Amino acid sequence: MWKGLKPGSHLPFGAAYPYKLDMVETEEFGNMLFLDGMVMTSQKDEFVYHEMVAHPVLNTHPNPENVLVVGGGDGGVIREIMKHEKVKKATLVDIDGKVIEYSKKYLPEIAGELDNPRVEVKVDDGFMHIVKSKNLYDVIMVDSTEPVGPAAPLFERGFYQGIYEALKEDGMFVAQTDNPWFKADLIRKVNKDIKEIFPVAKAYYANIPTYPSGMWIFQIGSKKYDPEAVDVNSIPERETKYYTPRLHHASFILPKFVEDLVK
Amino acid sequence: MWKGLKPGSHLPFGAAYPYKLDMVETEEFGNMLFLDGMVMTSQKDEFVYHEMVAHPVLNTHPNPENVLVVGGGDGGVIREIMKHEKVKKATLVDIDGKVIEYSKKYLPEIAGELDNPRVEVKVDDGFMHIVKSKNLYDVIMVDSTEPVGPAAPLFERGFYQGIYEALKEDGMFVAQTDNPWFKADLIRKVNKDIKEIFPVAKAYYANIPTYPSGMWIFQIGSKKYDPEAVDVNSIPERETKYYTPRLHHASFILPKFVEDLVK
């Protein structure tokens, strides 16, 4: 059953793109959230994306007290962040309040931690939030749609420069950057941008069945800490279904054709 | 453009299943071969599957002189095997001569090595070939369709027992065993079978966009050599696009929910 919003700009900031939200019941994947016709999350495989955004950076930064999520209104990344006791505060800034509202209603096991007292939820423009923030966050996670429409600015070099300035002096960020089969140029560009701005630039991947090609890339920019230098024996086992301390390093070892994109 | 065979039994052994071969030109993936409506290979992503069947075992066995491929009539696995100088002979046994014929015609860059003098091609029943072979092969690779129709016997415990007997005393085999998202029970069963028969049982994975879920599992049974004990520094760099010596060990480190299937 379709539980959607009619196409059209219901966004408070009047995005020019014909932004559209759909929530669809499916047999194979449970409830699925689409934005602009692109799969955002499904009940069956959401854990992969949400775990793989949150845990690699939070297990790298030794003291991630203050965390920002840009986008991510479904709450899945927040749920994973809340598994880290060191996080004192997580701020979620999503441009679209409807994503939050629909997720709480139809994806409760994903959105459940949005009401955690350690979480602050803001319906606001993530790009502008970054621009206004200086030397504030330990970790920033960019959980955006693909680089069309409202999310396009979140893949620009200027945005990564803003993130650099919004981070504390030992801060780090991670962003989802699509797939290497159809968006190789994007991954190459983001890698170049991050390398020019941050001393540490890394990429890792995960298998996500409902995303194009099933292979998803995440890119990290870090001022100090190297996710590949982490002693995984120091990582506690948490309740997860995809990420494990064992998988931490393995996920940074990329297939040859992906390795070549981020040299 | 569709270049298919009409549904129906063109197999020499009269498979009961309504076996069907299609060769289809596509915009995104080039020519694609389907058997019984299931994607077998595409020009764009075939390298992943073929490299990941061949190289992990051939880089584990110290002296893989005599290799058997069951199925694999498109020739892709044979092409990868031919990159290993230690292989003196590779025998391919496919039940369907049409797969070989169509692949040579429409997938020449995949099938090209089928004419290599080190290769012997037999149109025959792979199951029966295994039953008749004793203490003969160093490495066996099972490159079958999914476990319906003609390939169903290739996922039975008795087949793995036959493989054990067809292998030399330090032999090993690998089989593709579908995906962990929709075929978890199959992977669990094969793991149990292999563990009961072989002293070493291992599983690894690769991302294949054109296969269901995009995540594909391969399972190994070995009489002696452990693919996870290989010194990857001893592996020469070969011309590949997915597999690398660096990826060798990483591909055996499975996401938590897959790890749980093959405990």
Torsion of Cα atoms, A113 then A115 then A116 then A117, to 10°: 170
Residue A1 has pLDDT above 60, yes or no: no
Residue A21 has pLDDT above 90, yes or no: no
Interval A98-127: pLDDT, tens: 999 999 999 999 999 999 999 999 999 999
**Average pLDDT in chain A:** 92
- Is residue A146 one of the residues assigned to a domain? yes
- Is residue A161 one of the residues assigned to a domain? yes
Name the residue among B205, B184, B211, B237 with its Cα closest to residue B52.
B205
CATH number at residue A67: 3.40.50.150
Determine whether the interchain pair A253/B250 forms a contact, defined as Cβ–Cβ distance below 8 Å. yes
Determine whether the interchain pair A253/B259 forms a contact, defined as Cβ–Cβ distance below 8 Å. no
Shortest Cα–Cα distance, B182 to chain A (Å): 9
Residue B16 has pLDDT above 80, yes or no: no
Residue B70 has pLDDT above 90, yes or no: yes
The answer to whether A226 is annotated as binding is no
- Is residue B53 one of the residues assigned to a domain? yes
Complex ipTM tops 0.95: no
- Is residue A138 one of the residues assigned to a domain? yes
CB atoms within 10 A of CB A120: 13
**Cα B16 to Cα B152: distance, rounded to the nearest angstrom:** 12
Task: Give the burial string for B163-176 (b: 16+ CB within 10 Å, else e).
Answer: bbebbbeebbbbbb
Residue B138 has pLDDT above 70, yes or no: yes
Single-letter residue type at B53:
V
3-state percent helix, strand, coil for chain B, nearest multiple of 5: 35, 25, 35
With beta carbons under 8 A apart, name residues in chain B contacting A182. Answer: 28
Instruction: Name the percent of chain B lying above pLDDT 70.
Output: 93
Could you list the residue range(s) of the whole structural domain that residue A243 is in?
Answer: 39-262
- Is residue A13 one of the residues assigned to a domain? no
Sheet holding A21-26, edge to edge: A21-26, A30-35, A38-42
Test mutation, B48, B181, B252, B257, chain A, max A CBs within 10 A: B181
pLDDT band at B149 (very low <50, low <70, confident <90, very high): confident
Nearest CA in chain A to B52: A255
- Is residue B8 one of the residues assigned to a domain? no
Q: In this predicted structure, what is the pLDDT of residue B20?
A: 82
Q: What is the mean pLDDT of residues B77-105?
A: 96
- Catalytic pick from A45, A124, A138, A143? A143
- Is residue B22 one of the residues assigned to a domain? no
Q: In this predicted structure, what is the pLDDT of residue A2?
A: 53
Q: B35 near B17, Cβ under 8 Å?
A: no
Interval A145-204: pLDDT, tens: 877 777 888 888 999 999 999 999 999 999 999 999 999 999 999 999 999 999 999 999
Range from A18-27, A34-43, A84-93, B2-11 that averages highest in pLDDT: A84-93
Paired tokens of B60: 């584990």
Q: Could you say which of B205, B209, B241 has the minimum Cβ distance to residue A213? A: B209
Specify the number of domains making up chain A: 1
Determine whether the interchain pair B243/A256 forms a contact, defined as Cβ–Cβ distance below 8 Å. yes
- Is residue A149 one of the residues assigned to a domain? yes
Q: A165 near A199, Cβ under 8 Å?
A: no
Interval A221-238: pLDDT, tens: 999 999 999 999 999 989
Residue B232 has pLDDT above 50, yes or no: yes
Q: In this predicted structure, what is the pLDDT of residue A53?
A: 98
Torsion of Cα atoms, B175 then B179 then B183 then B187, to 10°: 40
Residue B8 has pLDDT above 50, yes or no: no
**Cα A105 to Cα A79: distance, rounded to the nearest angstrom:** 16
- Catalytic pick from B36, B124, B138, B143? B143
Q: What is the mean pLDDT of residues B6-19?
A: 48
Q: Is B169 left (phi over 0), alpha (psi -120 to 50) or beta?
A: alpha
Residue A80 has pLDDT above 90, yes or no: yes
Q: In this predicted structure, what is the pLDDT of residue B123?
A: 95
Return the SS3 of A155. helix
Residue A16 has pLDDT above 80, yes or no: no
Q: In this predicted structure, what is the pLDDT of residue B7?
A: 42
Name the residue among B208, B190, B165, B172 with its Cα closest to residue B56.
B172
In the annotation, is B138 catalytic?
no
Single-letter residue type at B256:
K
Q: B140 near B167, Cβ under 8 Å?
A: yes
Q: Which residue has the higher pLDDT, B37 or B263?
A: B263
Q: In this predicted structure, what is the pLDDT of residue A215?
A: 97
Q: A200 near A223, Cβ under 8 Å?
A: yes
